[in-house]
Amino acid sequence: MTAGPEDSQTAPPPTDPTREAVCRRCGTSCHVAVPAGDLGSVVVPGLHCQFLVADSGLFTCAVYDRRFEAAPWCHTAEQAQPLGYLAADCPYGAHPEGKVALAPEALDRVFGTVLRNLRAWGVPTYIDRVALLRQLESRTRRRWALDPWPGDPERLRLRPVGLTLPLATSARGGSA
């Protein structure tokens, strides 16, 4: 299961239960990855498909049985792997340009770059907007809004709102 641009999707093949069992439910593929220099495309906690649900430290899909109807941006692992939409070390097949989930300290170090790229390129409309805004507010100690991207109905633009918040609210939030 993975999120990615819709226009690369073709009709999904039937589900194979044996293949499904390979998934480790890390949720990486259902997050949107953001370029972070030499580290590649890194997963941003909170920046993920609107149907992704945190489940006891793992992730699950709220619409898995009907995901290709409910979520036209979703891909099968077979479709996503050659495109680099899965985790770089995914059991469905490694990919040198796959998504990378950094340890919290490593993500902290590159978050300035990640945020700059998010603001420059925007985010897809299919994300969980509440989760992203909550995560950004926690990390940056300021509030953010998501606005329509001029001329692109499938993209949203991040906009800072108001002043930096007091330090007491700055603890880093959860992953989703």
- Between the alpha carbon of residue 81 and those of residues 21, 47, 78, 155, the distances in Å are 16, 20, 6, 23
Interacting residues of 7 by C-beta distance below 8 A, sequence separation 6+: none
> 61 or 118: whose CB is closer to ligand SF4?
61
- State which of residues 45, 51, 76, 128 lies at the interface with ligand SF4 (CB under 6 A): 51
Closest distance of CB 90 from ligand SF4, Å: 13
- State which of residues 1, 36, 87, 118 lies at the interface with ligand SF4 (CB under 6 A): 1
Is residue 67 close enough to count as binding ligand SF4 by CB under 6 A? yes
CA 120 remoteness from chain centre: 16
Is residue 30 close enough to count as binding ligand SF4 by CB under 6 A? yes
Is residue 3 close enough to count as binding ligand SF4 by CB under 6 A? yes
Listed ranges 10-18, 56-64, 108-116, 141-149: which one lies at the site for ligand SF4 (CB under 6 A): 56-64
- State which of residues 26, 32, 49, 102 lies at the interface with ligand SF4 (CB under 6 A): 49
Is residue 32 close enough to count as binding ligand SF4 by CB under 6 A? no
Closest Cα partner for 176 from 147, 142, 134, 138? 134
Interacting residues of 116 by C-beta distance below 8 A, sequence separation 6+: none
DSSP state of 9: -
Tell me phi and psi for residue 126, to 5 degrees.
-80, 0
Q: Which residue is nearest to ligand SF4 (CB)?
A: 1
Is residue 77 close enough to count as binding ligand SF4 by CB under 6 A? no
Helices (H), the chain: 17-20, 67-70, 77-80, 104-121, 129-140
Binding positions for ligand SF4, rule: CB under 6 A: 1-3, 30, 49, 51-52, 61, 63-64, 67, 71, 74
